[in-house]
Chains A and B, each alone.
Chain A
């Protein structure tokens, strides 16, 4: 069965420090991969997506992610964190075959806190 694991429930980083949020997936075929961000009480906003091609994907707000097939990972990175990046981050894998094509399976999220 398809699944997404975000090993870190909560991460705290200092403002200006680099960030890496981990995501591992289990999927039988070439996955569609996404990172979303959610501020408290709000909906989810798409940061970036990977469908095919270049394994290093650039997104909005200075985020990037790298798809590593051999490690079944799609980690999110940012070189310098801003206080406004404090939020919850969700990794998701999209199913691309069968009757549920287009559905997303989400990880449980990583909450990011930023220290001044």
Chain B
């Protein structure tokens, strides 16, 4: 089945730790995106990548980092510099300039 997978579904982090969220797609889409979702805030764009080996900051990139070494994969690292990382994180992909397809999400909680 074609789709987007995110892992893990739930993630717990101690303060001061970096954690990496996985996002994989087998839809052959060029573009991939990371969003953060907080209650009542909608979706806010963290990073996006329109092509392999290239990515751009979104609206709230501080404290996050990404890589795009393969077309299928777009991992997000939440660094210790992100002061309030507890949130629901959504990954999406898109055949450029078209609708985005979303993964099931990862809920990150800081202990």
Residues in chain A within 8 A of chain B (CB atoms) = 9, 34, 36, 41-46, 49, 90, 94, 96, 99-104, 106-109
Write 13 A-B pairs (CB below 8 A) sorted by A numbering. A34-B99, A41-B88, A42-B105, A43-B4, A44-B102, A90-B43, A96-B97, A100-B48, A101-B96, A102-B50, A102-B97, A108-B42, A109-B42
Q: Say whether A90 contacts B42, CB under 8 Å.
A: yes
Q: Are B42 and A103 in contact (CB under 8 A)?
A: no
Asked if B94 lies at the interface with its beta carbon under 8 angstroms from chain A, I say: yes
Indicate whether A45 sits within 8 Å of B99 (C-beta atoms), given known contacts A90-B42, A102-B94: no
Query: Smallest CB-CB separation from A96: which chain B residue?
Result: B97
Q: Which residues on the A side are within 8 Å of B48 (C-beta)?
A: 100, 103
B contact residues vs A (CB 8 Å cutoff): 4, 6, 31, 33, 40-43, 45, 48, 50, 56, 58, 88, 90, 92, 94, 96-105, 107
Q: Are B90 and A44 in contact (CB under 8 A)?
A: yes
CB < 8 Å: which of A9, A41, A42, A45 contacts B40?
A9
B42 to chain A: which residues have CB within 8 Å? Answer: 90, 106-109
Interface SS of B by simple majority: strand
Which of the listed residues A36, A42, A104 has the most CB atoms from chain B within 10 Å of its own CB? A104
Count chain A CB atoms within 10 A of each CB in B99, B101, B107 and give the residue with the most: B99
Neighbouring A residues of B88 by C-beta, 8 Å:
41
Among the interface residues A36, A102, A106, A108, which one has the most CB atoms of the partner chain B within 10 A?
A102
- Asked if A100 and B90 sit within 8 Å, CB to CB, the answer is no
Top 7 nearest A-B pairs (CB, nearest first) are: A43-B102, A108-B42, A44-B102, A106-B43, A106-B42, A102-B97, A43-B104
Contacts of B6 in A (CB 8 A): 43
Chain A min CB distance to B6 (Å): 8
